[in-house]
Amino acid sequence: MPGPRRRSVLVARLAGRAGRSPGAIVDDLRACILDGEVPPGSAIPVDGVAAAFGVSRIPVREALMTLIGEGLVDHRPNLGYRVAKLTLEEFAEIYLVREALETAALRVAVAQARREDDERALAAHAALEAAVRAGDGRAYHRESRGFHLALIRPCRMRRLLHMLGTAWNMTEPLQPMTHLGPADRELLHHDHAAMLAAFTARDPESLIAACAVHHGRLQSYIARLPRDTGLFAESP
């Protein structure tokens, strides 16, 4: 169970931020949760966060309410605020939502992409390649999202991208890609190469097919994630 050590990690990450605006408080809290340093189930001490920002508890609670609405924070009477946990079934469900949204975005993106979009996608893939070769699970997790975003941003559908980002954020605290072995990451990287090739060739059917293979592989990996880490909520 997350204890004082994890609580202190969050407060330490936020230390020295006095004078930040209320909007910055929610942004900074969100960033700490999304980078995986504060795992699901970790306590969020309101007083400690308020002291780090040099504010009263009111703007901290307001920021936490925003994050509750985003599915990143839970609040329970007598237990306080914690980084939200998902059940394994909820986790898999969000990946299905992500696949549907990403597929819709890719169909438009590949039709509207320009040379500069290809360059961004190639650069994102190179960063992902470096993470694979370095065997760095955290970097791989970060760069994988960057690669997917490079492919879908050319759709320029603001609301769809916002919905996809919100869904993606809900799975970030667990850092799922860091739980994979090198062989699994290699297979996912092969999928990414196929997606990149189809994107730059402006081949929508091959791109969607490669995306479907990729998400099918992700679902199989999700089913194998260890349940005894304390990072998942218990299924009802």
Q: What share of the chain is helix, strand, coil (3-state, %, to 5)?
A: 70, 5, 25
Give 133-181 pLDDT, tens digit per residue. Answer: 999 989 999 999 999 999 999 999 999 999 999 999 999 999 888 888 8
As a whole number, mean pLDDT of residues 39-62 equals 91
| Contact assessment for residue 68 and residue 32, using Cβ atoms and an 8 Å cutoff | no
Residue 20 has pLDDT above 80, yes or no: no
Q: pLDDT at position 218, please?
A: 95
Q: pLDDT at position 224, please?
A: 87
Q: Which residue would you say has higher pLDDT here, 22 or 101?
A: 101
pLDDT confidence bin for 8, thresholds 50/70/90:
low
User: Side-chain half-sphere of 99: how many Cα atoms within 13 Å?
Assistant: 18
Residue 70 has pLDDT above 80, yes or no: yes
Q: Which residue would you say has higher pLDDT here, 23 or 73?
A: 73
| Contact assessment for residue 54 and residue 185, using Cβ atoms and an 8 Å cutoff | no
Q: How far apart are CA 203 and CA 213, in angstroms?
A: 16
Q: pLDDT at position 1, please?
A: 40
CB within 8 A of 11, min separation 6: which ones? 45, 48, 49, 51, 52
| Contact assessment for residue 78 and residue 41, using Cβ atoms and an 8 Å cutoff | no
Q: What is the mean pLDDT of the chain?
A: 91
Closest CA to 10 of 24, 31, 63: 31
DSSP element (H, E) containing 205: helix 204-224
DSSP element (H, E) containing 75: strand 73-76
pLDDT confidence bin for 104, thresholds 50/70/90:
very high
Q: pLDDT at position 154, please?
A: 98
One-letter amino acid for residue 182 of the chain: P
Segment among 14-18, 84-88, 101-105, 114-118 with least mean pLDDT? 14-18
DSSP element (H, E) containing 1: none
Q: pLDDT at position 7, please?
A: 43
One-letter amino acid for residue 23 of the chain: G
Give 175-221 pLDDT, tens digit per residue. Answer: 888 888 899 999 999 999 999 999 999 999 999 999 999 999 999 99
| Contact assessment for residue 152 and residue 107, using Cβ atoms and an 8 Å cutoff | no
Give 45-55 pLDDT, tens digit per residue. Answer: 999 999 888 89
For 206, the token pair is 């091959």
Q: pLDDT at position 231, please?
A: 78
DSSP state at residue 54: T
Q: Residue 165's CB: how many other CB atoms inside 10 A? A: 13
